[in-house]
Amino acid sequence: MKKKEHKECMSALLPVRDTLDVIGGKWKLLILISIWEGNKHFREIERSIPKLSTKVLSKELKDLEENQLITRTVLNGFPVRTEYMPTEHSKTLEKVIFELHNWGIHHRKKIFGNKSFSNNSVSA
Amino acid sequence: MKKKEHKECMSALLPVRDTLDVIGGKWKLLILISIWEGNKHFREIERSIPKLSTKVLSKELKDLEENQLITRTVLNGFPVRTEYMPTEHSKTLEKVIFELHNWGIHHRKKIFGNKSFSNNSVSA
DNA sequence: CGGTATCCATAGGGATACTG
DNA sequence: CAGTATCCCTATGGATACCG
């Protein structure tokens, strides 16, 4: 039955959607990588990523924390400092990112062939 | 040098971004799967995916075609019919989707633990 | 420093109607 | 059937200012 198969595929897609919700968007991975690299503080992270505004960073950090990919610790003292750290759970993303990376390379070859390219966008 | 590492990570991320641009968004994978399942015609695809509007479907199909994940063929006759088919290239996505799926499952377990859940959204 | 609050511009999506 | 065109509306993001 085709209908049934379709429904099954759709529901099999839910976990895929979850993953894309967690790491998709413009900034999530950039921020996570910045923190992986050792950037711990709000301004530090902000400065490490061009074009990223405080409002967006604030929201994205909350999302990452909700998804237990980073921890947020408020340090004592004045002025207030916070410390963002990657979680162990975040490390499990590496395999996914690796596959996304591989396919991205493969896809570029397919789309652009031997041509060189200079910009970032596939659809340019 | 930290700066250099950072730059390297950023540029290593470009292919990841490419992939997310190609399969990200609300509809791309749903549409691709619908076509994989054998839905060939515009209305057919549209009807197979709840809440998908013609305007969005139209745009998404163009994107998928640009990225050589589907082909579009206009059939002779009246009324006009078109036929969308998956490409071989699109099959290379299966591994990526598999990893995204796996991580989604893993992540849900992590976030919800043993609790059952009934909705689609991780962030709910 | 680590954010929130506010104002504003814009892109994107829904609904509907229409064309070849 | 296979889309475009139009109107409209909301969510998102930039810029800026401000607070603890």
- pLDDT, tens only, B82-117: 999 999 999 999 999 999 999 999 999 999 986 654
- Give the whole-angstrom CA distance, residue A69 versus residue A9: 28
Residue with tokens 């859940």: B117
Under 8 Å between Cβ of B69 and B86? yes
Q: How far is B78 from chain A (nearest CA, A)?
A: 27
Q: Which residues of chain A, if any, have pLDDT below 70?
A: 1-5, 114-124
Establish if B30 touches chain A: CB-CB under 8 angstroms.
yes
Q: What is the pLDDT of residues A57-87, one digit of tens each?
A: 999 999 999 999 999 999 988 899 999 999 9
Helix (H) or strand (E) holding B50: none
A77 Cβ within 7 A of any nucleic strand C atom: no
Question: What's the token pair of residue B120?
Answer: 């689609």
CA→C1' distance for A78 and D19 (Å): 14
CA→C1' distance for A53 and C10 (Å): 17
Under 8 Å between Cβ of B45 and B39? yes
B107 interaction partners in chain A (CB closer than 8 Å): 15, 18-19, 22, 67, 89
Name beta bridge partners: A103: none
CA→C1' distance for A71 and C15 (Å): 43
With 0.85 as the threshold, say if the pTM is over it.
yes
A41 Cβ within 7 A of any nucleic strand C atom: yes
